[in-house]
Structure 1
Amino acid sequence: MPLSMLFGMLAVMLILSAFFSGSETSLMTLNRYRLKHLVKLKHKGAIKAQALLQRPDRLLGLILLGNNFVNNFASSIATVIAIKLYADEESSIAIAAAILTIVMLICSEVTPKTLAALKPELLAFPAAWIYTPLLKIFYPIVWFVNLFVNLLLKIVRVDVKKNHQHTLNKDELKTIISEAETLMSHRYQKMLMSILDLETATVEDIMTPRNEIVGIDLETSLESIIEHIKHSPHTRLPVYKKSIDRVVGFLHLRKVLLLLNMDDFDKQTIISLLVKPSFIPESTPVHAQMMRFKDEKIRIGLVVDEYGDVQGLVTMDDLLQEIVGELITEDVTARKQSDGSYLVDANITIRELNRVMQWSLPTEGPKTLNGLIIEFMETIPDAGISIKLHDYPLEIIKRDEHAVKLVRFLPQK
């Protein structure tokens, strides 16, 4: 056989080796979620690629069968060429093996695999058209090889028929969303993150604390109640007697404002307009409470603990804000200063602070920043004290007898 034909055969083997190596990498690195999207769009190459990837053991068996065959055949041809060119057979074979190794490494391994890793669809979809009939032709050989492969895998308790690589857990999905900066705005990224967190959030995490509930005390004078109604920033107010634990109902201000100027307006008029209060266990999941508000057509409720004591108040707006965040309200609880620090209201919930600042303060214990600081210090710290709270340096700016009111988070170095 002339040398020209041998070199031609060797070149063909190198090209085939490059095809097998590159197609293996491209098929294995295909974005599975983009692949599913293309399948829904009836992309024929994607359909064939997905069918092959349903059983990766068979696909890899076929690819490696072809790759090993062409590599061994290329080595045999290189040996024949070396013997024809050089009289010293032993040294010529060693030189040919070294040269062939370098050429195959560059042309048939690194280059095609790098290209396939960067642009997998460029080679994967055409290769799927080739591998589909080849798998049928060489199926007996592939089946025989995979018989022993699957037996070995079963020893280590791996079932090739159960392919779980397409599933994502919540943390992995969060990573995908956080990296999709070029596909969506930062606001919508935060919204999707909040939706994923709804599963673990409870009404206790987002409620207005008991000490911040604004309501109407029926034990106060009628003039004081009227003044309160006129200047209230809220549309619904809880009505109680002396203590929020003795709530009578909720008053919708739109119903009562028209009656304020009536001569016979009194406390009994207010009581007649009240809506029966709704009580919510503090451990109720946020998503479950949203469905309850929707089903019962209510928008406000009181959060109670296991003893029935009122711990806070939650509204439909609070639940929606947990999802859409700053899209519906302008954040005033964390204000950036000229020196890069942040003044933060200590009544802010840990979940909201993490969302606004993109931090990772623990949410398992206290629900507010004030509670987290007190738990960490085991006392109510005085103004001017600086601490490092879970790797975040801060300074206490303001406090009262019962709680921390304002803190300054210092820029992290």
Structure 2
Amino acid sequence: MNEVPLGVLGGILFCLILLSAFFSSSETGMLSINKYRLKHLVKTKNRSAIKVNSLLERPDRLIGVILIGNNFVNILASAIATIIAVRLWGDAGVAIATAALTMVVLIFAEVTPKTLAAIHPEKIAFPASWILAILLKALYPLVWLVNGLSNGLLRLIGVHASQKNHDTLDSEELRTVVNEASGLIPAAHQDMLLSILDLEKVSVEDIMVPRNEVVGIDIEDSIEEIIEQICQSRHTRMPVYNGEINKVIGILHARHAAIFLRDPTPSKAALLKATVEPYFIPESTSLNTVLLNFQKDHQQMGIVVDEYGDVQGIAALEDVLEEIVGEFTPPTLDEEEEIQPLDDGSFRIEGSTHIREINKTLDWHLPTDGPKTLNGLIIETLEFIPEHPISLWVGHYMIEIQEIEDKVVKYAKLELKR
């Protein structure tokens, strides 16, 4: 080494620092790469992605070859830097070489390349994977020896290096991924994805039409009343019951109703023949289960019942889908919006409106762990049925009852007081 010119030694030292930067950036890039994007690229037959994925299947071998290379070049660089410094400054060169090389390696071979690789892992990992694959084959005996000793130590603490790390996400983690991808996914699509994730948290009673709003056909009515009701109905499906809603005996579809109405001598027997068997849903069933059961049993409407078998309301396939994509149709001319903004910043809301719908529409946080509707929330908070318009507080929300009808809150004015 004493005969090698300083210029040559300096060139070798420069190359070793570049190699150290390569190994450092490769390690960070390979381990920082997005595993889900990598799997997608593997499916598209991207050759570099396939190579990276192959190396990551055994991270112990990958880390082994990177660290062998990195430690080798760093130690060699240290030796050469010491030789150069001793030849220039004598015995004091050792301390100078140690301090200088530490700063150079730290800045140019560690922090800078690793930061770059963390920011752009694919740009570093993809080209590096080809070189690392070659080095792994060339140094395999040494890598095997090092990994054998290292894996033996790991086994002593119950860790097996050959175990694969299954990268799976639960629903909350997936929700975070969707939220973080707001710049890549259109807002409407993002809302739908989040709504799908919410289906398992929402039960059918959260979206059903309550029994007091159910429009059905009482088979005990006269045939003339039944025909008039069918002709005036805006619904495509109606439950048919015997005397009271708890005694549902069938579901009448508008298509079958049209056939029934064309009969020159319509009768109740013909009406019952036109109905289909009712489909019942327990009120605590989650919406994702309801949706799957609708699909499996080819149903589009169900009767929601409680634990005693009493009818609580009805839920249609449209109601479930609206939880995902939003409202399909605006209210008709004789219907009002459930949530109406007022000039003073407050909102006039129907008492039958679901609390989840209010929270979703207004980005509020009214409690949802109790009653499902605004009327239920008001009565639970007051602990009595109001007979006159009054005001109350629910958390930070000011509620002013405006209309009461048949012992239920028809309309209330709500305002968030920040």
Aligned position for 1:314: 315
- The answer on whether the counterparts of 2:49 and 2:126 sit within 8 Å (CA) in structure 1 is yes
TM-score, normalising length: structure 1:
0.86
| Deviation per residue, 1:88-122 (Å, 9 max, x gap) | x24x3223322222222221122211211121111
After superposition, the Cα gap between the structure-2 partners of 1:412 and 1:57, relative to the gap in structure 1 and judged at 3 Å, is farther
> Would the alpha carbon gap of residues 297 and 79 (structure 1) be closer, same or farther in structure 2, given more than 3 Å must change?
closer
Tell me whether 1:385 sits opposite 2:391 in the alignment. yes
Q: State TM-score, norm by structure 2.
A: 0.85
Check conservation: 1:230, 1:257, Cα contact below 8 A: no
Quick one: which amino acid aligns to residue 282 of structure 1? E
The answer to whether residue 100 in structure 2 is matched with residue 99 in structure 1 is yes
The code of the aligned residue for 2:88 comes to: L
One-letter code aligned to 1:121:
E
CA distance in 2, matches of 1:100, 1:18: 13
Give the structure 1 partner of residue 399 of structure 2: 395
The answer to whether the 8 A contact 1:26-1:121 is kept is yes
Matches within 5 A, 1:335-350: 335-350=340-355
Identity %: 49
Residues 179 and 97 (structure 1 numbering): CA distance in 2 closer, same or farther, change over 3 Å?
Answer: same
In structure 1, list runs of 5 or more residues that go unmatched.
none
Partner of residue 371 from structure 1, selected from 370, 373, 376: 376
Report 1:317-336 matches (<5 A): 317-326=318-327, 328-330=328-330, 332-336=337-341
Partners of 1:159 and 1:282 in 2: how far apart?
A: 47
CA separation of 1:259 and 1:24: change in aligned 2, threshold 3 A: closer
Q: SS where residue 245 of structure 2 aligns?
A: strand
Stretches (4+) displaced over 6 A: none
The answer on 1:22 being equivalent to 2:25 is yes
For 1:213-232, list aligned pairs within 5 A.
213-220=214-221, 224-232=225-233
Between the aligned partners of 1:85 and 1:380, the Cα distance in structure 2 is 95
Q: Which whole-Å CA distance do the structure 2 matches of 1:358 and 1:264 have between them?
A: 54
- Determine the structure 1 residue equivalent to 2:83: 80
**Aligned match of 1:275:** 276
Counterpart Cα distance in 2 of 1:340 and 1:18: 59
Aligned-residue offset at 1:21: 0.9
The offset of 1:335, in angstroms, is 3.8
The 3 A distance-change label for structure 1 pair 114 and 380 is farther
Distance 1:37 1:265, change over 3 A: closer
Q: Give secondary structure in 2 for the equivalent of 1:85.
A: helix
Which of 1, 9, 12 in structure 2 is aligned with 1:9? 12
Shift of 1:250: 2.3
Q: Is the 2:278–2:302 contact (alpha carbons within 8 Å) kept by the matching residues of 1?
A: yes
In 2, Cα distance between the equivalents of 1:346 and 1:244? 22
Corresponding residue SS for 2:17: helix
Q: Is residue 396–residue 404 contact of structure 1 (8 Å, CA) maintained in 2?
A: no
Query: Residues of 2 paired with 1:71 and 1:402: CA distance?
Result: 82
Distance between the aligned counterparts of 1:147 and 1:262, measured in 2?
85
Shift of the 255–44 alpha-carbon distance from structure 1 to 2, 3 Å rule, reads closer
Q: Deviations over 1:275-313 (max 9, x none)?
A: 332322224443443344345444222111222111111
Conserved in 2, the CA contact under 8 Å of 1:214 and 1:238?
yes
Describe the shift of the 1:205–1:164 C-alpha distance in structure 2 as closer, same or farther (beyond 3 A). Answer: farther
SS of structure 1 residue aligned to 2:251:
strand
> What letter matches 2:354 in structure 1?
T
Contact 1:394 / 1:407 at 8 angstroms: preserved in 2? no
Structure 1 340/2 Cα, relative in aligned 2: closer, same or farther at 3 Å? farther
| SS of alignment partner, residue 182 of structure 1 | coil
Could you tell me how far apart the structure 2 residues matched to 1:103 and 1:340 are?
Answer: 62
Pair 1:39-2:45 in alignment: no
**Secondary structure at 2:106 match in 1:** helix
Worse-matched range after superposition: 134-143 or 108-117: 134-143
CA–CA separation in structure 1 for the residues paired with 2:384 and 2:146: 69
Separation of aligned partners in 2, 1:152 and 1:398? 73
Q: In the alignment, is the contact (CA less than 8 A) between 1:348 and 1:369 conserved in 2?
A: yes
Shift of 1:157: 3.8
Aligned length: 408
Inter-CA distance 411–257: structure 2 relative to 1 (3 Å threshold): same
Alpha-carbon RMSD: 3.1
Query: Distance in 1 between the 2:397 and 2:51 partners?
Result: 55
Q: Which moved more, 1:224-233 or 1:100-109?
A: 224-233
Q: Matched residues in 2 for 1:160 and 1:10: separation?
A: 35
Q: Residue type of the partner of 1:410?
A: E
Amino acid of the structure 2 residue aligned with 1:393: Y
Output the CA distance in 2 between the equivalents of 1:143 and 1:343: 72
Determine helix, strand or coil for the equivalent of 2:40. helix
Local SS of the residue matching 2:275? coil
Verify the 8 A CA contact 1:237 1:252 in the aligned structure 2: yes
Instruction: Answer with 360-369 or 58-67: which moved more.
Output: 360-369
Shift in alpha-carbon separation, 1:256–1:5, aligned structure 2, 3 A = closer
With 258-267 and 308-317 compared, the bigger mean Cα shift is at: 258-267
Show the counterpart of 2:113.
Answer: 112
The match for 2:154 is: 153
Give the distance between the partners of 2:377 and 2:136, measured in 1 at CA: 61
Q: Give the partner amino acid of 1:166.
A: D
